[in-house]
């Protein structure tokens, strides 16, 4: 699949407008969305409990790359979970779930959460 084909109908101005909209949204005063943050904390806590002695690494980021986003990442040589029902429950709260191989041979699974903040302007 050639991505250039997908984007050939878009002009540079279309992308400029998108970036300006993101910049404007990022400049607004915002407060933490308590419901989304609770979902984020729940998902992190569940995954942390499942991974307690697995050898996989768990990390999170808040407000990166945008202040309205958060993510939870799991990395390891293999991803294996004994309590799949709890893992699935935690994953349900994420907006996006990605899995990708890393250059060092590990695998990374990331849960991305959107709308972590609410603009007050």
Q: What is the pTM of this model?
A: 0.74
Confidence grade of residue 111 (pLDDT, cut at 50, 70, 90): very high
CA-to-CA separations, 120 to 4, 29, 30, 62, in angstroms, rounded: 38, 6, 5, 19
Task: Note the Cα 87 to chain centre separation in Å.
Answer: 16
Q: What is the pLDDT of residue 26?
A: 63
pLDDT (tens digit per residue) in 76-109: 988 877 788 888 988 999 999 999 999 999 999 9
pLDDT (tens digit per residue) in 41-66: 999 999 998 886 677 899 999 888 87
Strand, coil or helix: 9: coil
């Amino acid at each position: 699949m050639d991505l250039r084909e997908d984007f050939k109908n878009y002009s540079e101005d279309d992308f400029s407008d998108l970036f300006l909209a993101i910049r404007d949204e990022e400049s607004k005063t915002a407060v933490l969305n308590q419901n989304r943050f609770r979902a984020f904390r729940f998902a992190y806590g569940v995954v942390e409990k499942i991974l307690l002695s697995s050898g996989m690494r768990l990390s999170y980021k808040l407000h990166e790359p945008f202040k309205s986003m958060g993510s939870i990442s799991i990395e390891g040589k293999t991803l294996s979970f004994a309590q799949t029902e709890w893992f699935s429950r935690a994953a349900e709260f994420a907006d996006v779930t990605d899995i990708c191989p890393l250059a060092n041979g590990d695998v990374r699974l990331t849960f991305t959460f959107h709308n972590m903040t609410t603009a007050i302007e």
